[in-house]
């Protein structure tokens, strides 16, 4: 169920009103959240409710058995749990890609592996949100493996955690400490929840409906579908447009999820922190999709050895390569992840060299602003270039976009001034977005709630009227 639809409004309003009336009754509110989450996910794909329940049961059972086992038994149990999760993801996300490539390689040496491929299995649709709630469930059981002092939760607690409807489709990916303390300490609805929650919702609507949807409809889809129909400059602008679109789309979803959760009385972890302000790739990944970046760091990079064991640069590369695979099975996602891994290795190596020369990994003050500007320009363009592989349907399509962009050919379709305005606006949000949020919530907090509601209704109405007809699904619903 898309947040930016009438069906979600019709679902959420009664959920919110009933939720506000029972928030002080912790046990009843927990059951209410579970029912709301299952109903919400049922709209996305009722056939996969059993998968959601299975993920919750698997991780609950794993954590519940931990205190009863020896160290070896605990290790075997968590290893089996991780393998099952990997097999689930591989089956739903990579079956067709892996099997067809295996058949293709076997054909080269005269072997026939076609019996491995089943069109019925290949036609199975990826359950919406699978990657997010599997990672969230895994973090629960892995944390209980690592920390013997953690008390196992009840199955209903774990189900409420995994099925929490604001985050189930595209995150943010929560950890145990993000959710359970808030679940247990219910309180009455307060003014700050309403004011700040609605501010996030307005922000998310503007990013998604006005900026992301406009850029997608007016240049991005065309450039990435038929780049040969556009001038080289228009293709370049299309790449910049997608750079802004994916930020506005995903951070817009996150803002909506945070806002909806705040209205329900929960504070979600931050997922974006002005990522296009980053001066290097390492800083970018500290600001972009923060809950996934920290998940990969804590449950993949550090267990591989991190910067302390093995080869730090290899560990970085493999973490980002797996991060690319998490997004999809196509070769383009592997390239995207691999190049980000190489880029991070270069950045870390450069900082190490800089520290050896000048005693610090930071840019020396005597180089100043010009070096920072240059670093920002290089970083933003490296990120934008790699978004081509993320967006393109295939390796060949990505190469076509790059070739057309470098052709320096002025013939073909162009772009409108509103496209440039939307790109500039999306970039400006990196610097003025937090300022706007603070001042908007500050002004709203001083107004009576009736006027606050009227202002929010007016802004939401204007935003929906500014957007194209039929708002597109969120990009990260595909992952």
As annotated, the active-site residues are 327
The secondary structure of residue 344, as a DSSP letter, is H
Dihedrals phi, psi of 122, to nearest 5 degrees: -70, -25
Burial of 22 (0-12, 13-18, 19+ CB in 10 A): middle
Q: Is 190 helix (H, G, I), strand (E, B) or coil?
A: coil
E strands, 115-217, in order: none
Structure tokens at 94: 């990579």
First and final CA of the chain: distance in angstroms? 15
Reduced to 3 states, what is the DSSP secondary structure of residue 413?
A: strand
The answer to whether 351 touches 312, Cβ cutoff 8 Å, is no
Return the structure tokens found at 330: 């196509």
Site of tokens 């509103």: 418
Q: How many CB atoms lie within 10 A of CB 111?
A: 11
CA distance readout (Å), 463 to 207, 209, 299, 339: 10, 7, 39, 37
Nearest to 479 by CA among 98, 162, 126: 126
- Alpha-carbon separation of residue 82 from 50, 145, 182, 358 (angstroms): 19, 12, 27, 44
Pairwise CA distance, residues 141 & 84, whole Å: 13
Cα–Cα distance between 41 and 170 in angstroms, integer?
A: 12
Give the C-alpha separation, 337 to 322, whole Å: 7
SS3 110: coil
């Amino acid at each position: 169920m898309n947040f930016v639809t009438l069906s979600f409004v019709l679902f959420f309003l009664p959920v919110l009103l009933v939720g506000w009336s029972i928030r002080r009754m912790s046990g009843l509110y927990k059951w209410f959240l579970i029912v709301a989450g299952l109903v919400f996910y049922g709209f996305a794909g009722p056939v996969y409710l059993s998968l959601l329940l299975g993920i919750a049961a698997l991780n609950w059972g794993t954590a519940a058995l931990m205190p009863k086992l020896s160290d070896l038994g605990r290790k075997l149990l968590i290893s089996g749990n991780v393998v099952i999760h990997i097999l689930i993801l591989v089956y739903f996300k990579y079956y067709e890609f892996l099997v067809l490539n295996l058949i293709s390689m076997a054909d080269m040496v005269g072997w026939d592996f076609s019996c491995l491929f089943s069109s019925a299995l290949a036609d199975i649709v990826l359950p919406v949100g699978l990657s997010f709630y599997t990672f969230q469930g895994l973090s629960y059981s892995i944390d209980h493996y690592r920390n013997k002092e953690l008390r196992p939760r009840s199955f209903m607690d774990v189900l409420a955690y995994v099925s929490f409807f604001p985050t189930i489709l595209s995150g943010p990916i929560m950890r145990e400490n993000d959710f359970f303390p808030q679940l247990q300490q219910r309180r009455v609805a307060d003014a700050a929840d309403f004011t700040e929650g609605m501010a996030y919702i307005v922000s998310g609507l503007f990013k998604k409906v006005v900026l992301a949807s406009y850029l997608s409809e007016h240049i991005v889809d065309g450039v990435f579908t038929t780049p040969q129909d556009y001038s080289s400059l228009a293709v370049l602008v299309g790449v910049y447009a997608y750079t802004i679109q994916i930020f506005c789309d995903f951070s817009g979803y996150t803002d909506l999820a945070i806002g909806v959760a705040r209205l329900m009385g929960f504070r979600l972890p931050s997922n974006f922190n002005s990522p296009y302000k980053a001066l290097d790739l390492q800083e970018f990944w500290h600001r972009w999709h923060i809950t996934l970046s920290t998940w990969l760091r804590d449950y993949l990079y550090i267990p591989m050895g991190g910067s302390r064991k093995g080869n730090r640069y290899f560990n970085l590369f493999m973490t980002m390569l797996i991060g690319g695979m998490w997004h999809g099975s196509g070769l383009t996602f592997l390239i995207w992840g691999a190049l980000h891994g190489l880029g991070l290795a270069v950045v870390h190596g450069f900082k190490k060299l800089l520290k050896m020369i000048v005693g610090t990994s930071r840019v020396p003050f005597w180089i100043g602003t010009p070096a920072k500007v240059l670093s920002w320009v290089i970083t933003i363009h490296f990120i934008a270039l790699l978004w081509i592989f993320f967006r393109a349907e295939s390796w060949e399509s990505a190469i076509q976009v790059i070739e057309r962009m470098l052709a320096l050919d002025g013939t073909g379709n162009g772009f409108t001034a509103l496209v440039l305005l939307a790109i500039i606006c999306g970039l400006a949000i990196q610097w003025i977005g937090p300022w706007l949020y603070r001042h908007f919530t500050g002004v709203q907090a001083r107004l009576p709630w009736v006027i606050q509601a009227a202002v929010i209704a007016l802004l939401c109405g204007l935003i929906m009227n500014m957007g194209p007809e039929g708002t597109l699904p969120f990009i990260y619903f595909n992952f």
